[in-house]
């Protein structure tokens, strides 16, 4: 009897130890980034404005939770819950979603990572390495607000890297379940019986990277549905982007460039091209200069917007940095694209802006 009890205790200890080893390792992380901006010609009268922007400074503010569990045999379970917020007023981002930046669960192995939920799609990933300025207050995102918000609801995703090649794809059954308005919420939840095409979205990516250069191409098509924003009110309407982005290293300087070709098919079709070219140079480990010029041209119209931006970042530590961004946008014809993402501008007016802020990561 004594041996039986001891044996049972040993088995119990082993099972408990295995359970402890299999527990998820959860990390809490985030960024708080805000500052004060001055922008000219913020309305039709040409008035300037001083404000604290909501959408971004040098990076969008967020708080996230991520974890993984080793399942054995090279297989991992993982999850990410990431919430965007506006530090100026403490509001929720991404169309007032609780976990609007990312919300997924998945499995990872040597064959790649499979995810289910609200995930970053391939358009978002395709510009990351080539866009040296990133989701800055003044950036290519002002010319196309979808780029920093390229996420898909109700989606299945795959991403795998093999040697120098990366392949990825997403498929969404309903690309956007929020109707709160704005670039992060376009009211197209899909999953409609009898209309399998409504609000569906497909994206794909192919990339090749080395230590000195990289190139990425991506394809993205999203379909409309009843009540969807931006005129995509029918599943026969679509918004397609094909992008080609690349970068190379010239000593310590990184040069990045890209093209996004966009075709919108609605009651009236629109075709536009977005180009960008930028460089990032570190004067030291603490001081970095980023600069970029970009241009958006809407074909068969007089709408042309050209944007130039420069940003100086000084790192006080690994987690805290001060930055100042300078920007200028020229709106030709009837173009009315604001310099700052989420801002305002009078039709055909040019804008100059400057923002100084602080960023802290945890």
Q: Give the pLDDT band (50/70/90) at residue 6.
A: very low
Q: Give the pLDDT band (50/70/90) at residue 286.
A: very high
What pLDDT score was predicted for residue 9? 44
What pLDDT score was predicted for residue 180? 84
Give CA–CA dist 88/75, Å, rounded. Answer: 41
What residues contact residue 183 under an 8 Å CB cut-off, 6+ apart? 145, 146, 149
CATH homologous superfamily for the domain 30-361: Porin (2.40.160.10)
- Inform me whether the pLDDT recorded for 81 exceeds 90: yes
Q: Which run of H or E residues covers position 5?
A: helix 2-22
pLDDT single digits (tens) 43-59: 989 999 999 998 899 99
What pLDDT score was predicted for residue 38? 97
Give CA–CA dist 234/21, Å, rounded. Answer: 50
| CA 236 from centre of chain | 27
- Inform me whether the pLDDT recorded for 12 exceeds 70: no
Paired sense of beta strands 351-361 and 102-109, if any: unpaired
Q: How many CB atoms lie within 10 A of CB 27?
A: 11
What pLDDT score was predicted for residue 23? 61
Tokens 């995930």 belong to which residue? Answer: 119
Contact yes or no for 171/158 (Cβ under 8 A): no
Average pLDDT, integer, range 21-28:
75
- Inform me whether the pLDDT recorded for 3 exceeds 90: no
Q: Residue 340: name the closest of 53, 111, 116, 31 by CA.
A: 53
pLDDT single digits (tens) 108-162: 999 999 999 999 999 999 999 999 999 999 999 999 999 999 999 999 999 999 9
User: What are the residue ranges of helices labelled H in 74-127?
Assistant: 122-126
- Inform me whether the pLDDT recorded for 337 exceeds 60: yes
- Inform me whether the pLDDT recorded for 256 exceeds 70: yes
pLDDT single digits (tens) 166-208: 999 999 999 999 988 777 789 999 999 999 999 999 999 999 9
- Mean pLDDT over the full length of the chain: 92
Contact yes or no for 121/150 (Cβ under 8 A): yes
What residues contact residue 208 under an 8 Å CB cut-off, 6+ apart? 164, 165, 166, 214, 215, 216
Q: What share of the chain is helix, strand, coil (3-state, %, to 5)?
A: 10, 55, 40
Q: Is 63 helix (H, G, I), strand (E, B) or coil?
A: strand
Tokens 């804008």 belong to which residue? Answer: 351
């Amino acid at each position: 009897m004594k041996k039986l009890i001891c044996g049972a205790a040993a088995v119990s200890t082993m099972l408990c130890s295995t359970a402890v080893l299999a527990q998820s390792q959860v990390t809490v992380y985030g960024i708080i980034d805000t500052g004060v901006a001055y922008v000219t010609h913020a309305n039709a009268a040409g008035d300037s404005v001083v404000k604290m922007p909501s959408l971004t400074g040098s990076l969008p503010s967020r708080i996230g939770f991520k974890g993984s569990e080793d399942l054995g045999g090279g297989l991992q379970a993982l999850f990410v819950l990431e919430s965007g917020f506006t530090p100026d007023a403490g509001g929720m981002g991404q169309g007032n979603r609780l976990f609007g930046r990312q919300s997924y669960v998945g499995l990872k192995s040597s064959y790649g990572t499979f995810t289910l939920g609200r995930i970053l799609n391939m358009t978002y990933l395709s510009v990351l390495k080539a866009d040296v300025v990133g989701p800055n207050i003044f950036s290519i995102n002002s010319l196309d607000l979808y780029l920093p918000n390229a996420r898909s609801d109700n989606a299945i995703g795959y991403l795998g890297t093999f040697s120098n090649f990366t392949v990825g794809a997403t498929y969404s059954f309903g690309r956007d379940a929020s109707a709160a308005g704005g670039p992060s919420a376009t009211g197209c939840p899909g999953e409609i019986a009898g209309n399998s095409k409504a609000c569906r979205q497909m994206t794909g990516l192919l990339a090749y990277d080395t230590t000195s250069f990289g190139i990425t191409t991506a394809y993205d098509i999203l379909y409309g549905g009843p009540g969807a924003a931006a005129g995509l009110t029918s599943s026969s309407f679509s918004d397609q982007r094909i992008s080609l982005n690349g970068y190379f290293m010239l000593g310590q300087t990184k040069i990045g460039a890209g093209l996004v070709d966009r075709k919108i098919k609605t009651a009236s079709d629109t075709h536009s091209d977005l180009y960008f070219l930028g460089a990032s140079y570190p004067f030291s480990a603490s001081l970095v200069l980023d600069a970029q010029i970009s241009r958006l041209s809407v074909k068969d119209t007089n709408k042309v917007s050209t944007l130039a931006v420069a940003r100086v970042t000084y790192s006080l530590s690994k987690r805290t940095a001060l930055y100042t961004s300078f920007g200028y946008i020229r709106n030709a014809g009837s173009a009315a694209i604001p310099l700052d993402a989420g801002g305002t501008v009078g039709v055909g007016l040019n804008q100059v802006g400057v923002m100084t802020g602080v960023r802290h990561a945890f």
